[in-house]
Amino acid sequence: MGKVIGIDLGTTNSCVSVVELSEPVIIPNAEGGRTTPSVIAFTKDGELLVGDHARRQSAMNPRRTMASIKRHMGTDFRFAPDGMSLSPQEVSAMILRKLKKDAENYLGSAVDKAVITVPAYFNDAQRQATKDAGRIAGLEVLRIINEPTSAALAYGLDHGHPQKVLVYDLGGGTFDVSLIEMGEGLIEVLATAGDNRLGGDDFDERLTSYVIEEYKKTNHINLAKDPTAVQRIKEACETAKKELSTAMTASINLPFIATVKGEPIHIYMDITRAKFEELTSDLLNRTREPVLDVLRDAKIKGSELDKVLLVGGSTRMAAVQKLVKNLTGIEPSRNINPDECVAMGAAVQGAKLGGEMISGAGSDIILMDVTPLTLSIETVGGIATKIVERNSTIPARYTQIFSTAMPYQTTVEIKVLQGERQFARDNTLLGTFRLTGIRRAMAGVPQIEVTFDIDANGILNVSAKDLGTGRQNSIVIVSGSKMSDDEIKRAMDDAAFYADDDNARKKRFDAINNAKRKIAQAQLYIQEHKQDLDKEKKRGLKSASAAVEKSIRWKKADKLTEGELDEIIRKTQELDALLGDAAGTDDRI
Ligand code: AMP
């Protein structure tokens, strides 16, 4: 087999690597750069530009330029310059084709196989689209792997003792943080979080606005209206930002930036690191919560981490390194270039799949993913009962027993939901199916086993089985997450925003549902123990049931006062105490 290349197909920049003499090396592009801007453009004559050429002319030719196509992967977005209509896969393929060509020039031989990386939270549709982009570019994609996993591979963390690794990835346009666990031949993504609208570009933007504003204050000239000037200022600001990662001061020197009334004007300005950090402190702070979130989700304290890896060019900023150290208490590893390690890890994986020996590398690695949002089913009262919590590792199988809500109910409808909210109607409905032919019985008697089976590609199979009759039905939901990253983020923000409100409402629905459940259980108990139940106990159960029934009669869960809620809970507890062990714990569908 020929060489297998590893590709980091990034939102802002892409990078390609290959293993030579047992070590991954970065393949420079035709322009001499080690990373290639993920930008394509068409000139007005229809010529295709990819990479640096496309990026440089973007401000002057915005309609025919496409940047950050990765944000649209897996959607039906079209890039449509001059009557063309290109899918995200086709645009990505143009970038991949250039990377492939650069690799062929470097290696001096044809390249037709690759490993490509994607963010850990990418869903099945986004992964499939990435694979398709590779195919369009003439590459057989041997495997799609997660970016944080790939970074860990570059650091050789897949052999040696098991360890928990936090990967903080701040690129040009996106921020991702992942917690992964590397064990013997196993890499598991325990949790991921991030902000797909935050990256180095925002830091450039801040500095650019500051420079324009300062210039306006002292010279009363507004350069914001001149796209060519803005583009040059932005480039100078990015350069200054990079310098400030190592120096305490950087200069912005832009002679002949524009002409005003026939006179040339120039910008000469010094920026200190302190000023830059002051201008961007809120941007940096936005990375704080996601780091704490993944630690919380994975139930790990900073002190339990074995390693912290910095990925993405923007982690070169001094303030980022300080923040990450403060948050985790660990000095981040920095011995591999942060903008290159993802591609290098992919090259390592590619070489293994291509049958090459890598120094120290062990057996093939099993890669695991996580579910981006909670999966649940709707139960009585419109409650979303969680089956698979957000950030659960997949492939996996989760099973829970449910029962019927009504006496002699022979059919249940299983509504599969995705989202963090407590009520079904506030989450996304992924699919519905019915289980019929349940044996006629009192409410709460049938045992219905609901199973969520998620395979390695994120494909979800939900089945329901009546354990009494053995009858079952199921549904397959391709692409467990049909939502975009934005939608996922919105769903999570919504859930946090409504959490208090939801809790109060859920408490009221739960109280009424629980009361009904106890009444049904009491009826069932009395019926089943017709022969041996003593009169005293029977009378007690009947009167306690009647009291519960009275407490909920004509009551609407949404409109319960605190006093009514207390009464229902108290009466239900009294009945429950009498029922004792006879009480079951199943949820009702
Ligand atoms: P990536 O997408 O990982 O290649 O990251 C690109 C981002 O990293 C861009 O916003 C760059 O401006 C930024 N970047 C690259 N080098 C540095 C540096 N030395 N200091 C600060 N930011 C940098």
**Residue 328: CATH number of its domain:** 3.30.420.40
Determine if ligand 1 sits within 6 Å of the CB of residue 208: no
3-state secondary structure labels for all residues of 125-185: HHHHHHHHHHHHCCCEEEEEEEHHHHHHHHCCCCCCCCEEEEEEEECCCCEEEEEEEEECC
Domain count, the chain: 4
201 belongs to the catalytic site = no
Same domain for 134 and 19: yes
In angstroms, the CA 65 to CA 170 distance is 24
Same domain for 193 and 90: yes
Same domain for 556 and 458: no
Domain boundary among 283, 313, 328: 283
Atom of ligand 1 nearest to the CA of 312: 3
506 belongs to the catalytic site = no
pLDDT number for residue 393: 75
Determine if ligand 1 sits within 6 Å of the CB of residue 316: yes
The amino acid sitting at 270 is D
Choose one of 17, 242, 309 to mutate for the ligand 1 pocket test, by most ligand atoms within 8 angstroms of C-beta: 242
Over the chain (589 residues), the average pLDDT of each successive run of 10 is 93 97 94 97 93 92 96 93 92 96 96 94 84 90 91 84 93 94 77 91 97 95 92 95 96 93 93 98 97 93 94 97 96 92 95 72 51 87 89 82 89 91 88 89 88 80 90 75 59 67 79 86 83 86 92 86 92 88 61
User: The domain spanning residue 503 has which CATH number?
Assistant: 1.20.1270
pLDDT number for residue 480: 40
- Cα 68 to Cα 11, 91, 398, distances in angstroms: 5, 10, 37
Q: Which of 102, 158, 169, 204 is catalytic?
A: 169
Same domain for 327 and 214: no
The residue with tokens 């087999």 is 1
Atom of ligand 1 nearest to the CA of 238: 12
Cis peptide before 395 (omega within 30 of 0): yes
Token pair listed for 1:
């087999």
- d(CA 146, ligand 1 centre) in Å: 20
Q: How many CB atoms lie within 10 A of CB 395?
A: 14
Same domain for 451 and 515: no
Q: Which of 8, 132, 176, 181 is catalytic?
A: 8
pLDDT number for residue 506: 78
Domain boundary among 446, 476, 506: 476
Q: Report the SS3 class of residue 207.
A: helix
- Cα 175 to Cα 122, 198, 202, 312, 574, distances in angstroms: 13, 6, 11, 9, 53
Domain boundary among 283, 314, 342: 283
Q: Which of 90, 102, 124, 147 is catalytic?
A: 147
Same domain for 341 and 249: no
Same domain for 392 and 361: no
Atom of ligand 1 nearest to the CA of 200: 10
Cβ within 8 Å of residue 449, ≥6 positions away: 399, 400, 401, 402, 464, 465, 467
147 belongs to the catalytic site = yes
pLDDT number for residue 484: 61
Name which residue sits closest to atom 14 of ligand 1, judged by CA. Answer: 313
Q: How is the beta sheet containing 39-42 ordered, strand by strand?
A: 48-50, 39-42, 65-67
Q: pTM of the entire structure?
A: 0.66
- d(CA 51, ligand 1 centre) in Å: 15
In angstroms, the CA 388 to CA 413 distance is 19
Q: How many CB atoms lie within 10 A of CB 581?
A: 5
Choose one of 26, 239, 339 to mutate for the ligand 1 pocket test, by most ligand atoms within 8 angstroms of C-beta: 339
- d(CA 7, ligand 1 centre) in Å: 18
Name which residue sits closest to atom 1 of ligand 1, judged by CA. Answer: 171
Determine if ligand 1 sits within 6 Å of the CB of residue 376: no
In angstroms, the CA 377 to CA 429 distance is 9
For 386, the enclosing helix (H) or strand (E) is: strand 383-388
- d(CA 199, ligand 1 centre) in Å: 9
Same domain for 186 and 95: yes
485 belongs to the catalytic site = no
Classify residue 437 by its DSSP letter: -
Same domain for 570 and 581: yes
In angstroms, the CA 318 to CA 21 distance is 34
User: The domain spanning residue 458 has which CATH number?
Assistant: 2.60.34.10
Same domain for 279 and 299: no
Cβ within 8 Å of residue 511, ≥6 positions away: 557, 560, 565, 568, 569, 572
Minimal CA–CA distance to 545: which of 566, 565, 515? 515
Same domain for 205 and 231: yes
User: The domain spanning residue 272 has which CATH number?
Assistant: 3.90.640.10
Minimal CA–CA distance to 448: which of 392, 396, 405? 405
Structural domain including 551 reads 485-588
Atom of ligand 1 nearest to the CA of 15: 4
- Cα 66 to Cα 69, 80, 164, 453, distances in angstroms: 7, 10, 38, 38
Atom of ligand 1 nearest to the CA of 170: 3
Cβ within 8 Å of residue 213, ≥6 positions away: none
Determine if ligand 1 sits within 6 Å of the CB of residue 241: yes
Determine if ligand 1 sits within 6 Å of the CB of residue 202: no
pLDDT number for residue 485: 63
Same domain for 408 and 362: no
Determine if ligand 1 sits within 6 Å of the CB of residue 242: yes
